[in-house]
Amino acid sequence: MEAINASIGFDKRMARQDIDGSRAHAAMLAQQGIITNKDAEAIREGLLTVLSEIEGGTFEYSAALEDIHMNVESRLKEIIGEPAGRLHTGRSRNDQVATDFKLWVRDQFDAAISGLDALISALLDQAEAGAGMVMPGFTHLQVAQPVTWGHHMMAYVEMFARDKSRMADARARMNESPLGAAALAGTSFPIDRHATAQALGFDRPSANSLDAVSDRDFALEFLSAASICATHLSRFAEELVIWSSAQFRFVVLSDRFSTGSSIMPQKKNPDAAELIRAKVGRINGSLIGLLTVMKGLPLAYSKDMQEDKEQVFDAADSLMLALAAMTGMVADMRPNAESLEVAAASGFSTATDLADWLVRALGMPFRDAHHVTGALVKMAEDRGCDLPDLSLEDMQSVHGEITQDVFGVLGVQNSVASRVSYGGTAPAQVREQIATWRERIK
């Protein structure tokens, strides 16, 4: 029974939150005349002693006492005696655990938001340095049109900024205090739930005691925001793995975030990127795990809910680590401007520019221009050359009205510079976006 029942092995991570919650509760009980000021003072002092034992590593946890709540209260009893027994007036472990866990998860929202800020600023630095650096843009991992390194980095800034805003939304929604909901029905003691809510930094007490003790939406929302964020990290990590390969050579990752091989001396493996790519597996697993625990639970508290913590702890640890590793890797990595430009020009990446030119210069309908360009691409392909390598005569053999001017749009630099539509890849556009984001995250 003890082996399946005890949660102390993991919920000891909420020791500080448990003590903060108890201090707020005890102070309120005294304020309301439910316990004496003397008892409240003894409880306060005692709890601080317990906290210092926990932080100093001298606290002895007992599995027989089941969880962090009982461990703290039992030690408090040893230290201060009888007043310790008055602390649990007007509350239950059901509202206590919900409160502690909310405080813990709230800190994780804050940590994720600052982790994302650091990553976004590393990306902005990369984007700024490479705002005009051309690289191939892909669809289906086939060369599509030239873009800029800055534009590509800024795409991730958008994603991670959405992650931040998802975390901030969820944090605002969860910030209601369950404390004082007691076991499920509220309490007959004249407690002041507004006071404890305020003392613990909550916006208000939760309005329904049944909901307060059975709600784990905040944990699910954290896991879901974490899963989406981890998905973004994983996609970026995948690109870094591809880009750092000898076949691409788009980017050089620093030695700090790579490893060598024990047998192949030439190897430099992107291990940090691979592990970031993998972390999403655990985080998604935690989300599905907790959704599955919660589905079908009747109101209010059931012991199933004790299974919430390990999922969230593991996901939070994985996310913070992945964010920190990605931030370091982004800050250190060096794009290879030369390989990027050569790759940008390959694969007929300016075919769309050619088609657009036929529309603009010759007034051709786009569908016809697409057809003419297709024939020119085919010709270049047959000759094993790129579009700018075809002569004017070659071009005119496909369509007689093409003029020398067409060569002006076939270069990759011209191609990116022309994409000036809002949100487009033109360096001028990208620089504007960088400036806007720098303002926003200041």
The Cα 347–Cα 8 span in angstroms is 59
Place of tokens 């960088």: 434
**Does residue 306 interact with ligand ARG by CB under 6 A?**
yes
From the list 224, 8, 222, the residue with the least C-alpha distance to 97 is 8
The DSSP element (H or E) to which 424 belongs, if any, is none
- Cα–Cα distance, 168 to 260 (Å, whole number): 39
Strands 204-205 and 176-177: parallel
CA dist 366 and 387 (Å) reads 19
Is residue 305 involved in binding ligand ARG (CB under 6 A)? yes
Least Å distance, CB 297 to ligand ARG, is: 12
**Nearer to ligand ARG among residue 15 and residue 364 (C-beta):** 15
The residue from 140, 188, 262, 391 that is catalytic is: 140
Q: What is the CA radius of gyration of the chain?
A: 30
Task: Tell the smallest beta-carbon distance from residue 15 to ligand ARG (Å).
Answer: 13
How far is residue 379's CA from residue 394's CA, in Å, rounded to a whole number? 9
Q: Which of 62, 114, 261, 346 is catalytic?
A: 261
261 is annotated as an active-site residue: yes
The residue to which tokens 């995948």 are assigned: 238
Q: How far apart are CA 317 and CA 263, in angstroms?
A: 32
Residues 320-359 contacting ligand ARG, CB under 6 A: none
- φ, ψ at 164 (rounded to 5°): -60, -45
| 140 included as an active-site residue | yes
Nearer to ligand ARG, 69 or 151 (CB): 69
CB of 69 to ligand ARG, least distance (A): 6
Q: Does 103 bind ligand ARG (CB under 6 A)?
A: no
Query: In this structure, what token pair is assigned to residue 191?
Result: 């407690």
The answer to whether the peptide bond before residue 300 is cis (omega within 30 degrees of 0) is yes
Nearest approach, Cβ of residue 183 and ligand ARG (Å): 7
Whole-angstrom CA distances from 77 to 89, 211, 240, 251 are: 15, 31, 55, 60
User: For residues 11 and 215, which CB has a smaller minimum distance to ligand ARG in the complex?
Assistant: 11
7-26: contacts with ligand ARG (CB under 6 A): 7, 11
Q: Phi-psi category of 192—alpha, beta or left, where left has phi over 0 and alpha has psi -120 to 50?
A: beta
Applying CB under 6 A, the span of 18-26, 300-308, 385-393, 421-429 interacting with ligand ARG comes to 300-308
Q: How far is the CB of 34 from ligand ARG (least distance, A)?
A: 22
Q: Give CA–CA dist 386/98, Å, rounded.
A: 64
- Inter-axis angle of helices 93-129 and 68-80, to 10 degrees? 120
How many other CB atoms sit within 10 Å of the CB of residue 142? 8
From the list 272-280, 288-296, 299-307, 374-382, the region that binds ligand ARG by CB under 6 A is 299-307
Cα separation of 21 and 98, whole Å?
10
- One symbol per residue from 61 to 100: x for binding ligand ARG (CB under 6 A), - otherwise; what is it? ------x-------------------------xx--x---
* Nearest-approach distance from CB 7 to ligand ARG, in angstroms: 4
The residue (of 96 and 148) whose beta carbon lies closer to ligand ARG is: 96
For 138, left (φ over 0), alpha (ψ -120 to 50), or beta?
Answer: beta
Instruction: Please report whether residue 234 would count as binding ligand ARG according to CB under 6 A.
Output: no
Residues binding ligand ARG: number (CB under 6 A): 9
Binding mask 248-287 for ligand ARG (x = CB under 6 A): ----------------------------------------
- Minimum CB distance to ligand ARG, residue 305 (Å): 5
Q: Which residue, 177 or 350, has its beta carbon nearer to ligand ARG?
A: 177
Binding flag, residue 108, ligand ARG (CB under 6 A) = no
Contact pattern from residue 117 through residue 136 relative to ligand ARG, giving x for each residue in contact according to CB under 6 A and a dash for the rest: --------------------
Q: Which is nearer to ligand ARG, 99 or 373 (CB)?
A: 99
Omega of the bond leading into 112 within 30 degrees of 0 (cis): no
Give min distance, CB of 64 to ligand ARG, in A.
13
Distance of CA 60 to the CA centre of its chain: 35
Report the residue number, 7 or 17, with the smaller CB distance to ligand ARG.
7
- Our CB check for ligand ARG shows the closer of 23 and 93 to be 93
Q: Which residue ranges make up the site for ligand ARG (CB under 6 A)?
A: 7, 11, 67, 93-94, 97, 301, 305-306
Where in the sequence numbering do the catalytic residues fall? 140, 261
